[in-house]
Amino acid sequence: DIQMTQSPSSLSASVGDRVTITCRASQRISNFLNWYQQKAGEGPKLLIYSASNLQNGVPARFSGSGSGTDFTLTISNVQSGDFATYYCQQSYSTPNTFGPGTKVDVK
């Protein structure tokens, strides 16, 4: 199985900050990497698919990049609704595996 890691596991940010989350796969997965946002008590929400494509309706302050084993999710100009937990997920092979999550909270 492909192992996914994320860093940091948590971070604190202020409204208006720029935040970067890193995801690493244990083997090369091309661009088969997706990002999800999960708020407390809710199901996850797709933000970015295929490493860099913004899902319809997701604000343009979210962006993704990377290929192979290393990927990043960037939130520019963090807003109050962005405080949540973020997960990466590889869809290169079954079982699809998720990173452990990065919790973004208020500084």
Partner 1 sequence: EAQLVESGGGLVQPGGSLRLSCAASGFTFSRYWMTWVRQAPGKGLEWVANINHDGGDQYYLESVKGRFTISRDNAKNSLVLQMNTLRAEDTAIYYCTRRVANGGDWFDPWGQGTLVTVSS
Residues that bind partner 1 (CB under 8 A): 31-32, 34, 36, 38, 42-46, 49-50, 55, 87, 89, 91, 94-101
Q: Nearer to partner 1 by C-beta: 31 or 62?
A: 31
- Which CB atom, from 5 or from 77, has the smaller least distance to partner 1? 5
Q: How far is the CB of 15 from partner 1 (least distance, A)?
A: 26
Minimum CB–partner distance for residue 33 and partner 1 (Å): 8
Contact 86, 36 (CB under 8 A): yes
Q: Half-sphere exposure of residue 12, counting CA atoms within 13 Å on the CB side?
A: 2
Cα 39 to Cα 13, 45, 82, 101, distances in angstroms: 16, 9, 9, 12
Helix (H, G, I), strand (E, B) or coil at 23: strand
Using the minimum distance from each CB to partner 1, give the nearer residue, 17 or 72: 72
